[in-house]
Amino acid sequence: MSLPPVPTALARPLASLRRFVAPFAERLVELELFDRAVALASQAFVALIPFMVVVAALTPYGERSSFADSIIHRFELTGDTAAAVEQVFSQPAEVQSTLTTFGVLLLIVSALSFCRALQRTYERAWRLRRLGMRSTPSHLLWLAVAAAYASIASALNTAAGEHLGDAGRLVVGFGLSFFLWLWTPYLLLGRRVERRSLRFTSALTATAMTAFGVASVFYMPQSIASASQSFGSIGIAIAIVSWLIGVGFILVAAAGLGAVLAERSPWIRPRALRRRHRGALEREPDQAEREL
């Protein structure tokens, strides 16, 4: 049984919609959206979070606010849920007493693996060839930026909330997120794409992260409490990994959609994408890009 023909009045709008949506859908398929989001979440949990725990212990802000305190503040946890999170993540004094030079180097190497995974996401979004280990200096610089962001973002958000209210805190949070996700792809891509053309990616990421952060305040306390009661400490890890998958989904989707928007923008393409097109000519075959 064949489907009825599409009315002529709808045929042209549907065709236009299909032509508009197709490039975005194609780029997300190339990125393997869901698989890559899960991969980024797992890399963040096993590599980036331990690095941030050490950063919280060693920076001046760490003397007043541990990584556990950051989680409690971000998700507005209270009572037994907050106490459970405190037990899972080491306090700054405990971390400092057990740190060694070898341990710090190992954590940095582990964090670099997350940088490489995120770099490959942006490279595939922009259809660029892989830089591999040659981009390690940029990765180290990004880790320094991320550590600085983690150290000051919570304090700035708290100050904004006290003086400007919830709306002010959201504005400050969005601004900090926009700055972070503007420089992140710029550094990880080895400056092959100009910052001007990365504004779409930055705006999409910051907007989605801000909305996701607001939503997290409502569902994460219940999620962590329920998981902790059912599975103990491992339940807290499950809840955090689930949250990180949502973050990974945002990062991958924003990378792909932002790249397509920049390519299609009449204000950006003539100048800001010049380097990107030169790199695209040198990109590796598709099968060599299937990593993580």
pTM for the model: 0.80
pLDDT at 290: 47
Residues 6-18 pLDDT 10s: 456 666 666 666 7
Q: For residues 18-46, give the mean pLDDT.
A: 88
**3-class secondary structure, 89:** coil
Residues 122-158 pLDDT 10s: 999 999 988 877 888 899 999 888 888 877 777 777 7
Q: What is the DSSP string of 25-74?
A: HHHHHHHTHHHHHHHHHHHIIIIIHHHHHHHHHHSGGGGT--HHHHHHHH
* Long-range Cβ contact pairs of 90-95 (< 8 A, separation 24 or more): 90/53, 90/57, 90/66, 91/66, 92/56, 92/57, 92/62, 92/63, 92/66, 93/57, 95/53, 95/54, 95/57
Residues 245-277 pLDDT 10s: 999 999 999 999 999 999 887 666 544 454 554
Evaluate if residue 60 carries a pLDDT over 70.
no
Alpha helices in 189-268 (DSSP H): 199-231, 233-264
Greatest mean pLDDT among 52-61, 159-168, 210-219 lies in 210-219
Cβ neighbourhood burial of 64 (10 Å; 0-12, 13-18, 19+)? exposed
Q: For residues 96 and 186, give the distance between their C-alpha atoms in angstroms, rounded to a whole number.
A: 33
Q: How many CB atoms are located within 10 Å of the residue 215 CB?
A: 11
Cβ neighbourhood burial of 22 (10 Å; 0-12, 13-18, 19+)? exposed
Spans of all domains in the chain? 34-289
Q: Which amino acid is at 177?
A: S
Cα 101 to its chain centre, rounded Å, is 28
